[in-house]
């Protein structure tokens, strides 16, 4: 009976949402009535039969799509070294947001919140970790125990990470021609490899502190009204920071393009922002105000020596409300003699010592 119900749900998913349906066919589904509901272990999806029986067909297709996306986005690999329970929760929030965006009906008690709309799993994890005040080291021993217990299941993976990446690539090319790619999938697929997203979690940790969010109950968020649940909606969110880019002669075109690409990523993290972009070598060459209505249009002027002081002099004399600076540079320049009052995150191609602030290395 359960097998038939799951089979019908898989067929329904393949017909109505072929992208998710194809990924589900790569999963091994195993009954485990010791579980309260379900869990994901690599390519294995375990479920409690009574829980599955209680779901509607639409809710079951959502559950299967959720399980497939956990593996397709390599959440096990990306969650290495993190608090497992918080990482799984963050993963669910990110995936369920994508599924709701594509018209899926969530099962009861599904992990979903409009406050995490369009965020990466790493961003949600960082937020939850800070709110719950949990140290990652606290669960290190527990994670080691869980890994031993799950070792047998993970030994016989159906697909390697490389094989899954090939499936995603081939499926994306095929369905893109048909216009069947899920909404929002491009922002998630781009972050599937650990090497592509490892720095973003740290960047978001800093940026999130300087973003202001307000919530209100009326009008409520529309996404949960179909389930008879009224959740608060975000009515104000603003990121206000300064960004400086080193345009000196020591910054080659490749590194400069990388800096600009990372700035574009920052702009995509928030729906409302005001970013003051400062291009500077030995002196300030250009200043541009970036908002959602003002696209990035860098003039990339410069090519001289490197002096960080003009940027800090400008900020301290001109702004009291800009309290956070991200400085993209190779680090070879003249620092201010006095430590500035503004928080500084130096983004560099390699780790090196700075007189103040913190360094984030972009590979």
CATH superfamily, region 238-361: von Willebrand factor, type A domain (3.40.50.410)
State the Cα–Cα distance between residues 221 and 270, nearest whole angstrom. 18
State the Cα–Cα distance between residues 191 and 186, nearest whole angstrom. 9
pLDDT at 22: 82
State the Cα–Cα distance between residues 127 and 121, nearest whole angstrom. 10
pLDDT band at 238 (very low <50, low <70, confident <90, very high): low
Three-state SS for 354?
coil
User: What's the mean pLDDT when you consider all of the chain?
Assistant: 75
The more confident residue out of 161 and 281 is 281
Nearest to 286 by CA among 273, 275, 274, 302: 302
pLDDT at 156 over 50: no
State the Cα–Cα distance between residues 284 and 108, nearest whole angstrom. 55
pLDDT band at 53 (very low <50, low <70, confident <90, very high): very high
pLDDT at 233 over 60: no
State the Cα–Cα distance between residues 348 and 358, nearest whole angstrom. 10
In eight-state DSSP terms, residue 294 is B
State the Cα–Cα distance between residues 362 and 351, nearest whole angstrom. 9
Pair of tokens at residue 346: 């130096």
pLDDT at 56 over 90: yes
Q: What is the mean pLDDT of residues 279-291?
A: 90
State the Cα–Cα distance between residues 87 and 83, nearest whole angstrom. 6
Q: Give the lowest-confidence range in 34-48, 88-102, 136-150.
A: 136-150
On the question of a cis peptide bond just before residue 219, with omega within 30 degrees of 0, the verdict is yes
Residue 239 dihedral angles phi and psi, to the nearest 5°: -110, 125
DSSP-derived pairing of the beta strands 44-47 and 38-41:
antiparallel
Question: pLDDT exceeding 90 applies to what percent of the chain?
Answer: 26
Q: Give the lowest-confidence range in 157-171, 172-186, 276-290, 320-334.
A: 157-171
Residue 8 dihedral angles phi and psi, to the nearest 5°: -65, -40
pLDDT band at 270 (very low <50, low <70, confident <90, very high): low
Q: What is the mean pLDDT of residues 205-217?
A: 54
Q: Give the lowest-confidence range in 80-94, 95-109, 197-211, 286-300.
A: 197-211
Q: What is the mean pLDDT of residues 142-150?
A: 45
pLDDT at 83: 86
pLDDT band at 217 (very low <50, low <70, confident <90, very high): very low
pLDDT at 139 over 70: no
Q: What is the mean pLDDT of residues 251-274?
A: 79
pLDDT at 320: 62
**Highest mean pLDDT pick, 116-130, 172-186, 254-268, 344-358:** 344-358
State the Cα–Cα distance between residues 288 and 146, nearest whole angstrom. 50
DSSP-derived pairing of the beta strands 233-246 and 324-328:
parallel
CA of residue 155 relative to chain centroid, distance: 28
Helix axes 121-132, 84-101, angle to 10 degrees: 130
Region class of 28: left (phi > 0), else alpha (psi between -120 and 50), else beta: beta
Q: What is the mean pLDDT of residues 332-342?
A: 91
* Helices and strands: H and E segment counts in the chain: 13, 10
Specify the residue for token string 């709309």. Answer: 117
pLDDT at 147: 46
**Which contiguous run of DSSP H or E holds residue 316?**
helix 309-318
pLDDT at 68 over 50: yes
pLDDT band at 111 (very low <50, low <70, confident <90, very high): very high
208, 210, 216, 222 alpha-carbon torsion, rounded to 10° = -40
Q: Which residues contact 303 (CB under 8 A, 6 or more apart)?
A: 247, 248, 249, 281
In eight-state DSSP terms, residue 218 is S
Question: pLDDT exceeding 70 applies to what percent of the chain?
Answer: 66
Residues of the chain with CATH 3.40.50.410: 238-361
pLDDT at 148 over 90: no
pTM (2 d.p.): 0.52
The more confident residue out of 349 and 180 is 349
Tally Cβ neighbours within 10 Å of residue 113: 15
Q: What is the largest CA-CA distance in the chain?
A: 74
pLDDT band at 138 (very low <50, low <70, confident <90, very high): very low
The more confident residue out of 164 and 52 is 52
Rg (CA), the chain: 23
Q: What is the mean pLDDT of residues 175-180?
A: 49
């Amino acid at each position: 009976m359960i097998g038939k119900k799951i089979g019908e749900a898989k067929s329904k998913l393949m017909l109505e949402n072929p992208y998710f349906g194809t990924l589900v066919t790569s999963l091994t589904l195993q009954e485990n009535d010791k579980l309260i509901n379900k869990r994901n272990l690599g390519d294995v999806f375990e479920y409690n039969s009574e829980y599955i029986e209680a779901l509607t067909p639409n809710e079951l297709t959502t559950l299967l799509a959720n399980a497939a996306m956990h593996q397709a986005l390599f959440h096990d690999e990306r969650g290495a070294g993190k608090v497992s329970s918080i990482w799984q929760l963050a993963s669910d929030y990110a995936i369920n947001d994508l599924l709701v965006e594509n018209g899926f009906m969530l099962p009861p008690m599904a992990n979903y919140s409009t406050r995490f709309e369009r965020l990466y799993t790493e961003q949600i994890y960082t937020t939850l970790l800070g709110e719950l005040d949990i140290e990652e080291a606290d669960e290190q021993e527990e994670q080691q125990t869980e890994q031993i217990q799950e070792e047998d299941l993970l030994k016989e993976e159906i697909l390697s990470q490389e094989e899954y990446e090939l499936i995603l690539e081939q499926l994306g090319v095929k369905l893109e021609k048909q216009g069947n790619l899920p909404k929002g999938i491009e922002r998630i697929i781009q972050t599937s490899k650990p090497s592509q997203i490892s720095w973003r979690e740290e960047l978001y940790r800093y940026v999130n502190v300087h973003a202001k969010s307000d919530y209100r109950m009326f009008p409520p968020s529309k996404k949960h009204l179909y389930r008879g649940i009224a959740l608060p909606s975000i009515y104000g969110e603003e990121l206000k920071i300064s960004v400086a880019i080193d345009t000196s002669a020591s910054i080659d075109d490749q590194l400069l393009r990388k800096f600009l690409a990372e700035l574009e990523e920052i702009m995509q993290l928030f729906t409302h922002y005001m970013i003051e972009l400062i291009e500077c070598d030995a002196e300030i060459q250009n200043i541009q105000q970036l908002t959602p209505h003002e696209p990035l249009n860098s003039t990339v002027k410069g090519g001289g020596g490197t002096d960080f002081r003009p940027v800090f002099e400008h900020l301290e004399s001109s702004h009291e409300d800009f309290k956070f600076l991200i400085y993209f540079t190779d680090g070879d320049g003249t620092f201010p003699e006095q430590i500035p009052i503004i928080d500084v995150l130096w983004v560099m191609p390699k780790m090196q010592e700075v007189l103040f602030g913190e360094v984030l290395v972009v590979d």
